[in-house]
Amino acid sequence: MTNQEPMTSVLPTSTFAVDFHRVFVGSQVWLIVRLAAGLMVWLCSGPISFAGEKKPTDPPSNAESLELSRSRNLSACVICHQPAGQGVPSIYPPLAESGWVNGPSDRLVAIATYGLVGPIEVNGIIYPSVPMPSFGVEGSYQWGAKDIAAVATYIRQSWGKEASGVAPEQVGLIRKNLGRRGPLTSAKLD
């Protein structure tokens, strides 16, 4: 009988396998977050009814505008700015109690329409360069003037605020004045 030592060497782990595992696990987390957000929107959107729908030419009622703004806010804004508009500390700025929201409505409409890049200061805190997407017709959401006006009004009048509303005509005027362009910066809006 020979005295053999037990095998103690470990097979080298390929960096490809480690990287693949990190990406796979990371993508599952991202997928779960997106599915949860979609489920929240679906659960909060209320029942779907096809009976008695209005014709597209009928003007929206106040209840329809409120529902449109609430559903748009749930589908896009709350992912970063949270349901109560408090944002995420050091990452996403708050919408509640923000001069950018409560101040001149033109600024809020321009930000929602074209997006925002670069750092922004809100309530004395500087938020880093986390880009806000464009929600306008040139952006990834492709919202029209009615959508942007409804969401801007909702944000300006939520969480105990009583700021003025935004009309779709105001959104159209801002688009006309600023034209087609890329994202804005806070320095351009001051």
What is the pLDDT averaged over residues 81-96? 91
**pTM score, whole prediction:** 0.65
Residue 27: the pLDDT is 52
Please tell me the distance from the alpha carbon of residue 168 to that of residue 166, in angstroms, as a whole number.
Answer: 7
The yes-or-no verdict on residue 14 having pLDDT over 60 is no
What's the token pair of residue 81? 């700015």
Residue 170: the pLDDT is 95
Q: Between 135 and 64, where is the model more confident?
A: 135
Residue 101: the pLDDT is 92
Greatest mean pLDDT among 11-15, 68-72, 116-120 lies in: 116-120
130 backbone dihedrals φ, ψ, rounded to 5°: -100, 110
Give the tens place of pLDDT for each residue, 42-61.
444 444 333 443 333 333 45
The yes-or-no verdict on residue 39 having pLDDT over 80 is no
What is the pLDDT averaged over residues 64-92? 79
The yes-or-no verdict on residue 171 having pLDDT over 90 is yes
Question: Is the CA virtual torsion 171, 174, 176, 178 positive or negative?
Answer: negative
What is 63-189's CATH number?
1.10.760.10
Is 115 buried (19+), middle (13-18) or exposed (0-12) by CB count in 10 A? buried
What's the token pair of residue 5? 């030592």
Q: Which residue in the block uniquely carries the two structure tokens 């779907």?
A: 48
Residue 1: the pLDDT is 54
What's the token pair of residue 24? 């796979």
Give the tens place of pLDDT for each residue, 109-134.
999 999 999 999 999 999 987 789 99
